[in-house]
Chain A
């Protein structure tokens, strides 16, 4: 059974940093692309960033490019998102997702999410 468990969310001041982690289990982590998708309070879904199975290819939404960095440790089955220069509009629940093996950006499995609140 695929399991994705996010951690690292919390309250941070504008301009601050936070690192999210996602522990993956139940599948061969290193062969699947992974992504972070966020959802602002009472809002819709927004894709944030993605990474290939090997970690060599990364993708970012324009809204976070240059501020967020996605990475993965295939030896520990862990996905990470380093968030710097946080803004109020980054406040959201952040979901870790497993992409389909064949279709980049299609999110077959989701974690339960971790809440990031950016406020002074």
Chain B
């Protein structure tokens, strides 16, 4: 299985600022099978990005994903109040794995 490490653990930012979240894989992710999810307190996760850079249906264009191989990034261009949440990266396939999460909190 592919081990994913996310950084930082917590990101303290103000609304309107840019958020940059990192996800590093211990081995290369084939076919860019890398997704990002958002989870708010008391809610189920929601798919944001798949294939490292494709936005899921209904996801605003302030969310973007990039990267390949072992290094991936989720960028939120200008933080809206509803964007403060925990974000997980995930390798998908027959044995999916998740990173430990990055919390984006209000500064």
Contacts and interface: CB of A to CB of B under 8 A. Distances in A.
A32 interface: no
7 contacts: A44-B100, A45-B98, A47-B98, A105-B93, A106-B35, A107-B45, A107-B90
A105 B94 contact: yes
A44 B98 CA distance: 8
Contact of B93 (A95, A104, A107, A108): A104
A63 to B, nearest CB: 11
Interface of B: 33, 35, 37, 43-47, 50, 56, 88, 90, 92-101
A105 B98 contact: no
A59 interface: yes
A1 interface: no
A100 B33 CA distance: 12
B50 A100 contact: yes
A104 B47 contact: no
A106 B32 CA distance: 12
Interface string A96-110: 000010011111101
Contacts of A100: 50
Interface in A65-120: 95, 100, 103-108, 110-113
Interface of A: 35, 44-47, 50, 59, 61, 95, 100, 103-108, 110-113
A25 to B, nearest CB: 16
A111 B96 contact: no
Identify which of B56, B90, B96, B99 gathers the most chain A CB atoms within 10 Å of its CB.
B96
A61 B91 CA distance: 14
A44 B44 CA distance: 12
Contacts of B90: 45, 106-107
Given A103-B33, A103-B50, A108-B56, A59 B95 contact: yes
